[in-house]
A and B are shown apart, each in its own frame.
Chain A
């Protein structure tokens, strides 16, 4: 009993000892916690305070409204409207497939929507929302809103969408916007504009939308908002309003554009009309065209394939990027080159027997008229498009003099128009040929350069620009589509003033000779007499034909036997009224064969509307059925081996 009691006391002593030990440990560990609190809440207070603020406050970009694009009469070519979109943030969704399946019971989701969604997802981070459906109508939006609670991570958003009300009309000119891709981001980064695109999804990809991106986009505003962990704004702390993009007002007239595009019918080609006194572009046609609205949302594969693989190459911006041999439309410029060099001024005449030979050679450079034109002076040579006359002129002038003179008219260089992607075309020189082909220049190449054949390549824009410069007595105005930039907030207009690009010193007498030659072209006896029929104003014009494939010596060109897409391109340049030019234009109809009969009537309709306000008769210029097999939209320059021996004219 005593031992037990002693044992008991002993045990209680040890128990209390251990209890004391634990009390000490408890206090020590609480001391550790207190030290930790002190460290976090006193020592590191600033650090965590900052982190908490960063957590709490977020800068939310406010996307500015993109500027409108209007024609000269205020007709809207590009505008914006709000649409409801249904957007999914993939990182917040457990089972994406199931969620989409459930959503599709509320709002229709097509396979196209699915494809587009998948494409967006590939391009963006999983914490960014991507639209599964766009353009929800009110009923669909309401139906989803009621069921919203079932779909965390799925939101209805309202996005500003770009819309091109005229669809296909002038789409190469207006261009389109598309989603910002990695390349765009890199460019924006380089330009230091990245912060201005926070929140923007779209950027101009082509045409005016691309060139005037800076004006159209506007400045992004910011809102300082308190957000919760899900990123929902709880309240706005401060805000900085966005500045909407500027509106663009064009020199082009959508009605004129429509007339020009309709005049092409189903023909491929291009038309550029310029006000020669200001450089304002009045019409900018590339046919066939495409619906720019397809690109805004991200074009789907089917439509893309259809456009991209079409033989008609609707995506090529022909005025800027289509290159063609100028053919006989080059002759007025060659004529001026000769006259200004003091050569071939009237009364100089040749007796044309139908061909031209180089001294010491039997090779015949044929005229388009095998029997020849008889006595021909400069003015008549233009009117009847006498090849022989210009063969000799080019030889006498030499290739260097010829090209250095016509270069002032804008051939072989970019015009500086307000659309990106222009190509230079080609004005050949012996140095160029040596560089390019490691071959010397042959005299025969100079001969055919006189009639715009051989290596020379021009874009429709260059041809129009050269015609405008000619019409403006040698004063080259920089071509531009936008005439006014309108500030959206103040309404203040910034006029784009005409810019003189080059001032070619030309003798008025020489100019007059060329002008009279060109006016006669549209009069009875000229190569485009039908174009000028019953015109109440004088039209100075020149027809041209450019070969798509070379024709061998002694081979006869037979339009009927040749594949439609191998037929010659028809060219036509003109300005009117000839004594006080208000419009200068160039028309190219691919495989149109004869400048006077296919390209000329299109030009006449444009001029009639522009000068007289006259609408064309209801019948359209019908081209032959375009069911051919293969051809390049971009004509291949003829190489010396297949140099054309003769050019065919109307």
Chain B
């Protein structure tokens, strides 16, 4: 009876992925406790975020992919409309217009787009199954650019970047030709100097600081400098849990959110970092396996995009904290404090699990 119930409950949960997620989330709670200055309430609140997110993951895992395919287009349209709504009526906080008041609560439509974008593009290319033409990529590009442009305008560079990435992965996996990719890269490289010459001095300066934060040590560069000091001083085994001086003495800004990885690296050292990389790699590899085993174009593209987007999160965050990428507001997936990104992430993992567990036995 119990085994039957548990089979019913966990039927659509991928145990391998779940195990990896569990350990990553656990590590996240521990480091959050340290980063928040040993605030149990902060950890508790993140625990609630996780419970909500995992519940939604479970729900998503139980939704068959065929239904997801059906809601892809409506979800995308609603998402774009809401983004337009934000641009027109959104409330401003911290100098950016990201939230929309829908009567009883505030929502952040760009988060919907994180899920809706890969679904929409995967849906679009699955319809062209087997005979994708150049024009489809042009349309796919357009479907991608409209919401991204709206999000860029908010401005929310981090989210725009991630959504662009998630869309691009669909295009790439759908077979965007190498020649086109290469051509695009060459075109970008060729036009950069021209674009550069068209910019105002202050705009150039902002880009320069984005690329090299050390030029502005008290402003934009402060985060990166303090974060690299935290990481570097962690050494091989770290300063030990709760003992990171950079973190505990307030030198690290945003250390429970975007810069939590600096706390992790300071207290757990190189060994901790490598362990985290292994955990992330296992999650990503499992996701790629799920994608490769997926049976429809839609699920294949969607699983691939979700997995690679997760990778992008992790890579961009750790890259910016360790000072090899410019600082853009991207949290460390599954570890940074915050409900919204946790929910979006877990939803996408739920979709991955759904894709894996709803496979039909087809004899080829």
Interfacial residues, chain A to chain B (CB-CB below 8 A):
4, 7-8, 11-12, 14-16, 18-19, 22-23, 26-27, 29-30, 32-34, 36-38, 40-42, 44-45, 47-49, 51-53, 55-56, 226-230, 234
Contacts of B129 in A (CB 8 A): 8, 11
A-B residue pairs, 7 tightest by C-beta: A48-B232, A52-B233, A228-B250, A229-B250, A41-B270, A228-B249, A7-B130
A-B pair count, CB < 8 Å, reads 130
In the complex where A19-B173, A19-B288, A41-B269 touch, is A48 in contact with B228 (Cβ < 8 A)? yes
Nearest chain A CB to B223 CB, angstrom units: 12
A40 contacts B245, C-beta separation under 8 Å? no
B277 contacts A228, C-beta separation under 8 Å? no
Nearest chain A CB to B305 CB, angstrom units: 10
Pick from A11, A37, A55, A230: contact of B229, CB below 8 A: A55
- Which of chain A's residues has its CB closest to B233's CB? A52
- Which of chain A's residues has its CB closest to B227's CB? A40
Q: Is B81 an interface residue (CB 8 A)?
A: no
A41 contacts B288, C-beta separation under 8 Å? no
Pick from B130, B169, B269, B274: contact of A11, CB below 8 A: B130
Q: Is B273 an interface residue (CB 8 A)?
A: yes
In the complex where A19-B173, A30-B281 touch, is A37 in contact with B249 (Cβ < 8 A)? no
B292 contacts A52, C-beta separation under 8 Å? no
Contacts of B269 in A (CB 8 A): 41
Which of B3-11, B311-319, B353-361 forms contacts with chain A? B311-319
Q: Is B327 an interface residue (CB 8 A)?
A: no
A36 contacts B324, C-beta separation under 8 Å? yes
19 additional contacts (CB under 8 A) given A33-B318, A41-B234, A56-B251: A7-B131, A11-B175, A15-B304, A18-B173, A22-B173, A23-B288, A26-B284, A30-B280, A37-B265, A37-B322, A40-B323, A41-B236, A45-B233, A51-B232, A53-B245, A55-B245, A226-B249, A229-B251, A234-B249
Pick from A8, A22, A26: contact of B281, CB below 8 A: A26
Nearest chain B CB to A624 CB, angstrom units: 65
B254-265 vs A, Cβ < 8 Å mask (1 yes, 0 no): 000000000001
Q: Is B246 an interface residue (CB 8 A)?
A: yes
Q: Is B241 an interface residue (CB 8 A)?
A: no
A40 contacts B315, C-beta separation under 8 Å? no
- The residue in B229, B280, B304, B308 that gathers the most chain A C-beta atoms within 10 A of its C-beta is B229
Pick from B130, B235, B288, B292: contact of A4, CB below 8 A: B130
- Which of chain B's residues has its CB closest to A56's CB? B245
A27 to B311, CA, bound (A): 10
Contacts of B318 in A (CB 8 A): 33
B315 contacts A33, C-beta separation under 8 Å? yes
Q: Is B335 an interface residue (CB 8 A)?
A: no
A289 to B62, CA, bound (A): 93
Pick from B274, B284, B288: contact of A37, CB below 8 A: B274
- Which of chain A's residues has its CB closest to B253's CB? A229
A47 contacts B232, C-beta separation under 8 Å? yes
B277 contacts A33, C-beta separation under 8 Å? yes
Q: Identify which of residues 95-117 in chain B touch chain A, using a CB-to-CB cut-off of 8 Å.
A: none
Interfacial residues, chain B to chain A (CB-CB below 8 A):
129-131, 169, 172-173, 175, 226, 228-236, 245-246, 249-251, 265, 269-270, 273-274, 277, 280-281, 284-285, 288, 291-292, 297, 300, 304, 308, 311, 315, 318-319, 322-324
Contacts of A37 in B (CB 8 A): 231, 265, 270, 273-274, 322
Contacts of A229 in B (CB 8 A): 226, 249-251
B235 contacts A41, C-beta separation under 8 Å? yes
Which label, helix, strand, loop or mixed, suits the secondary structure of the B interface? Answer: helix
Contacts of A44 in B (CB 8 A): 232
Nearest chain A CB to B166 CB, angstrom units: 13
In the complex where A55-B246, A230-B250 touch, is A32 in contact with B324 (Cβ < 8 A)? yes
Pick from B245, B292, B315: contact of A16, CB below 8 A: B292
A18 to B232, CA, bound (A): 36
Nearest chain A CB to B253 CB, angstrom units: 8
A56 contacts B249, C-beta separation under 8 Å? yes
Nearest chain B CB to A285 CB, angstrom units: 55
24 A-B residue pairs with Cβ-Cβ distance under 8 Å, sorted by A, are A15-B175, A18-B172, A22-B304, A26-B308, A30-B277, A30-B280, A30-B281, A33-B319, A37-B231, A38-B270, A41-B231, A45-B233, A48-B229, A51-B232, A52-B233, A55-B226, A55-B245, A56-B245, A226-B249, A227-B249, A228-B250, A229-B226, A229-B251, A230-B250
Contacts of A15 in B (CB 8 A): 173, 175, 292, 300, 304
Contacts of B284 in A (CB 8 A): 23, 26
- The residue in A26, A32, A53, A55 that gathers the most chain B C-beta atoms within 10 A of its C-beta is A26
In the complex where A26-B284, A37-B265, A37-B322 touch, is A45 in contact with B232 (Cβ < 8 A)? yes
Contacts of A45 in B (CB 8 A): 232-233, 235-236
Contacts of B304 in A (CB 8 A): 15, 19, 22
Contacts of A29 in B (CB 8 A): 311, 315
A34 to B273, CA, bound (A): 8
A97 to B234, CA, bound (A): 43
Pick from A22, A23, A32, A34: contact of B274, CB below 8 A: A34
A45 to B270, CA, bound (A): 11
- Which of chain B's residues has its CB closest to A4's CB? B130
A8 to B129, CA, bound (A): 8
B311 contacts A26, C-beta separation under 8 Å? yes
Nearest chain B CB to A3 CB, angstrom units: 9
Nearest chain A CB to B59 CB, angstrom units: 27
A30 contacts B250, C-beta separation under 8 Å? no
A228 to B248, CA, bound (A): 8
- Which of chain B's residues has its CB closest to A234's CB? B249
Nearest chain A CB to B304 CB, angstrom units: 6
- Which of chain A's residues has its CB closest to B293's CB? A16
B231 contacts A48, C-beta separation under 8 Å? yes
- Which of chain B's residues has its CB closest to A91's CB? B218
Nearest chain B CB to A26 CB, angstrom units: 5
Contacts of B169 in A (CB 8 A): 22
Contacts of B233 in A (CB 8 A): 45, 48-49, 51-52
